[in-house]
């Protein structure tokens, strides 16, 4: 059996679809099923069992002998929240509990880390485990992810294979429930549909022009493929970047969105909210050297192809993945 935590979420729900497409239906899905704002993300998915997040660890112990692998994709992902206690509980301790069960029962573990752990990028974006302690995350969400990465590397008792994937800027179907945390593609589509205009943040640094802030944007379907690839190929355990290895500007993303809708480009630059300015990453770029040296396949959907597919096949017809 396969376990997917965060199965109603953005990445998790699409990954369940991906597993179904591969022929897997023996899937245990885990999430907070008391919050039904995301329930439509699992409509039509073929799974074996639904387990509430709060009941899962005890359940996991009971069925561990039947589990082939766990993809731990559930987390509190609000980058604005400063609720340290909830991040400690859901992102750090919960992950430690899952790790412990996997280690005792020899179950491979693939979990979601984040490129937010790199902070402002002063130490680069290389998934080098020897220098990971130098990183300085900028928000409580990123700090909790970083803390678990470090804890995992320190453990003597580990799962037989384990991989922490540092997801970069993921966009794609099934993210509508994320609100403010949804991708610029999603918010941009809504803005363009309503007003014919896209609003992007101005730069508040002299070395970046408005709209020229850079991100390693990666389509969620590529993330699904990377999750399965690293499990299937079983390289050396550790921390791996999950990005494209290419940085693109928000201006590029905006123009691509207008092109996908066949609408003239109309971008307005607005001031960044004050609560974001000190925690904002101006440039992210995944160093994919480690991934490539492990002979892992890098999917490589271009920004243009990913945005076009997302808008035309999912947002415009209001479909889910």
Which residues have a catalytic role annotated? 141, 178
Dihedral sign computed on CA atoms, order 116, 121, 123, 124? positive
Question: Could you tell me how many residues make up the chain?
Answer: 321
Cα 49–50–55 angle (5° rounding)? 115
In order of 8, 37, 56, 157, 172, the CA distances from 178 in angstroms are 11, 10, 23, 35, 12
What radius of gyration, in Å, describes the C-alpha atoms of the chain?
Answer: 19
Considering only CA atoms, which of 98, 110, 59 is closest in space to residue 227? Answer: 110
Considering only CA atoms, which of 111, 218, 241 is closest in space to residue 171? Answer: 218
DSSP state letter for 283: B
Backbone torsion region of residue 185, taken as left when φ is above 0, otherwise alpha when ψ lies between -120 and 50, otherwise beta = alpha
Tell me the CB-side half-sphere exposure of residue 136, using CA atoms within 13 A.
Answer: 7
Whether 5 and 53 have beta carbons less than 8 Å apart is answered as yes
Secondary structure of residue 104 in the 3-state scheme? helix
| Tokens 């994919």 found at | 288
């Amino acid at each position: 059996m396969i376990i997917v935590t965060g199965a109603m979420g953005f990445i998790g729900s699409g990954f369940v679809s991906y597993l179904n497409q591969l022929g897997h239906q023996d899937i245990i899905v885990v999430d907070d099923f008391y919050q039904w704002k995301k329930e439509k993300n699992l409509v039509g998915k073929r799974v074996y069992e639904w387990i509430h997040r709060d009941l899962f660890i005890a359940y996991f112990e009971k069925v561990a002998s039947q589990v082939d692998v766990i993809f731990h994709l559930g987390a509190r992902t609000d980058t604005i929240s400063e609720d340290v206690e909830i991040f400690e509980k859901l992102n750090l301790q919960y992950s430690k509990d899952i790790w412990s069960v996997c280690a005792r029962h020899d179950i491979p573990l693939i979990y979601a880390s984040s490129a937010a752990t790199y902070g402002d990028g002063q130490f680069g974006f290389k998934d080098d485990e020897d220098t990971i302690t130098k990183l300085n995350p900028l928000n409580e969400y990123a700090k909790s992810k970083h803390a678990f990465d470090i804890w995992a590397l320190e453990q003597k008792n580990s799962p037989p294979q384990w991989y922490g994937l540092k997801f970069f800027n993921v966009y794609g179907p099934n993210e509508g429930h994320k609100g403010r945390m949804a991708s610029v593609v999603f918010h941009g589509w809504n803005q363009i549909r309503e007003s014919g205009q896209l609003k992007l943040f101005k730069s508040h640094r002299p070395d970046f022009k408005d709209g020229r802030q850079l991100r390693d944007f990666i389509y969620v379907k590529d993330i699904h493929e990377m999750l399965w690839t690293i499990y299937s190929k079983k390289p050396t355990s550790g921390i791996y970047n999950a990005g494209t290895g290419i940085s693109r500007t928000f201006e590029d993303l905006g123009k691509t969105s207008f092109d996908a809708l066949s609408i003239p480009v109309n971008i307005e630059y607005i001031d960044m909210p004050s609560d974001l300015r000190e925690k904002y990453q101006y440039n992210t770029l995944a160093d994919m050297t480690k991934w490539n040296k492990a002979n892992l396949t890098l999917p490589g959907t271009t920004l243009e192809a990913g945005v076009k597919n997302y808008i035309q096949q999912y947002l415009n017809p209001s479909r889910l993945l």
